[in-house]
Structure 1
Amino acid sequence: MAAQSVTIVRVYLREGEHQQHDVMKLLHDDERVQGATVFRGISGFGPDGVLRTASLVDLSLDLPLVVEFYGEPAQMEAVIDKLIQHLHLPHIVSWAGVSHVAGE
């Protein structure tokens, strides 16, 4: 098994911001990252301090979303720059990681 240094990126959104489609389109069509996953949170809050939560009786359409992807560090820096410049995303975090890829 080969190990490769990568940068892992998380983009924090809210459903009510309606940016998920634009983020995924940029990652898939424009930047061609190897893969991305969107997680839908059941509860969360951001800088505005408003707690957004889901319950069985209330189907909120403004829950937290997290888009996560990873790749070669230089490419991820370029992708982060585009996400910030073109989509004006307020909350992106990244960190170094190791990808364990099965040998061919």
Structure 2
Amino acid sequence: MNQTEVTMVRIYLTEGDHQLRQLLDFLHQQEQVRGVTAFRGIAGFGRSGKAHESSLLDISLDLPLVIEFFDLPEKVEQVLQDLNKLIEPGHVVNWPARLN
């Protein structure tokens, strides 16, 4: 079985950051990475300790968001350098993976 080494990246945001559309456009149109998915969380908290969550009684407009993408390691290195200009430090993680 042929496998391709890639790097996975996750970007952690909240809806209140208002960066989702900008980042999706950046990753798709400018950087043209292989694949991108955005996830909307039901609860979460970050460094600030402030909880962001939804309940059945209300629809929060500040829920957690995760943007995940992958590409070849050398491509991701360049994308990460460019992302550093858009994303606050400590909100991006990456790890090696394999495509089957």
Query: Does the pair score TM above 0.5?
Result: yes
Cα distance in 1 between the residues matched to 2:60 and 2:87: 24
**What is the one-letter code of the residue matched to 1:38?**
A
- Say which is worse superposed, 64-73 or 87-96, in terms of deviation: 87-96
Residue identity matched to 2:13:
L
* Structure 2, unaligned runs of 5 or more: none
1:89 Cα deviation after fit: 3.1
Determine helix, strand or coil for the equivalent of 2:22.
helix
Partner of 1:12: 12
Matches for 1:1-104 after TM superposition, within 5 Å: 1-85=1-85, 87-90=86-89, 91-100=91-100
Point out where structure 1 has 5 or more consecutive residues left out of the alignment: none
Give a deviation string over 1:39-91, Cα, whole Å, max 9, x none.
00000001110011111101000000000010100100111111112x13330
Report the 3-state secondary structure (helix = DSSP H, G, I; strand = E; otherwise coil) of the residue aligned with 2:21: helix
Query: Structure 1 residue 97: deviation in Å?
Result: 0.6
Q: TM-score normalized by structure 2? A: 0.95
CA contact (8 A) 1:83 1:89 kept: no
**How many percent of aligned residue pairs carry the same amino acid?**
46
- Deviation beyond 3 Å, 4+ runs, structure 1: none
RMSD: 0.9
Distance (Å, rounded) in 2 between the aligned partners of 1:72 and 1:34: 9
Q: Secondary structure at the match of 2:3?
A: strand
CA distance in 2, matches of 1:88, 1:46: 14
The offset of 1:98, in angstroms, is 0.5
